[in-house]
Amino acid sequence: MRLATWNVNSVKARLPRLLEWLPQARPDVLCVQETKVAADAFPAAEVGELGYTVAHHGEGRWNGVALLSRVGLDDVRRGFDGDPGWAGEPGGSDEAAEALFDEPRREARAVSAVCGGVRVWSVYVPNGRTPESAHYGYKLTWLEALRVALAADLAAGPPVAVCGDFNVAPADSDVFDPAAFVGATHVTKPERDALAALRDTGLADIVPKPMKGPNPFTYWDYRAGMFHQDKGMRIDLVYASPSIADAVTSAYIDREARKGKGPSDHAPVVIDFNV
């Protein structure tokens, strides 16, 4: 099976690139993040012409996750039990957010299904904004709730692969310069501890190889030539059951998909394994 994950940073903006990439890379399952379209607005017909069925969990201009599969989509779940939700504005400041919702609302950040005998999750972990932000606390709470949900899946069902934009770099080697991130999110000990807790459920971190250079980065900011200087981060991850991790034959970062006109700021991660 070929499993891939890609934060496309708007499926509408990236649709021509997605439709070009799918027949080139030929994943059996693609996990997509930041679709940024409503629940019924994913371009399912277009990807359907390439042989993929779609399970999408969307909410409009923010967030959004999807699974594209040509090996089945069974027992689709949008969201998960225990999701704490967020009461604030999805893309705004915490201060502006306080009065937006009376109760936390579950955002479109997780979708899962059984694809070819594997329970595949596509996740988009909250950003956290700053360590002082209420959104940072939400991020940690969300990751703990995800850990509980994954532990239940691992105990009850088929092999599990959870893929997506985790908005956390697991180690200092996963950022271009640890000193540049001091005081910022994505690298703090509580965030990394939350990832370690996910792995402690029995999941393995499948580290892909870069197509060029020594760094396994998957994200580069659009600003200041960060991509061309390879000043990036590894935040797009694939965590998988041992039966999958032990059967991996190839794992790479498709850096070419980050090039050219109008790319996402993330590159796809592609994993091959024997089912």
Interval 194-243: pLDDT, tens: 999 999 999 999 999 998 889 999 999 998 799 999 999 999 999 999 99
Going by pLDDT thresholds of 50, 70 and 90, the confidence category of residue 5 is very high
Contact 59, 38 (CB under 8 A): yes
Beta bridge partners of 69: 29, 53
Provide the terminal-to-terminal Cα distance of the chain, rounded to the nearest Å: 6
- Which pLDDT value is given to residue 145? 98
- Report residue 263 as tokens: 């790319």
Q: What is the maximal distance between C-alpha atoms in the chain?
A: 50
Q: Which of 86-100, 175-189, 231-245 has the lowest mean pLDDT?
A: 86-100
Averaged pLDDT for residues 239-262? 97
Strands 53-57 and 74-78: unpaired
Going by pLDDT thresholds of 50, 70 and 90, the confidence category of residue 97 is very low
Counting every residue written for the chain, the total comes to: 275
- Which pLDDT value is given to residue 89? 80
Averaged pLDDT for residues 106-115? 98
Q: Which residues of 56-83 are buried (b: 16+ CB within 10 A; e: fewer)?
A: bbbbeebbbbbbbbbbebeeebbbbeeb
Sorted by sequence, the CB contacts under 8 Å of residue 55 that are 6+ apart come out as 66, 67, 69, 73, 76, 78, 111, 113
Q: Is 85 exposed, middle or buried (0-12, 13-18, 19+ CB in 10 A)?
A: middle
Going by pLDDT thresholds of 50, 70 and 90, the confidence category of residue 92 is low
Averaged pLDDT for residues 177-182? 95
Averaged pLDDT for residues 97-126? 88
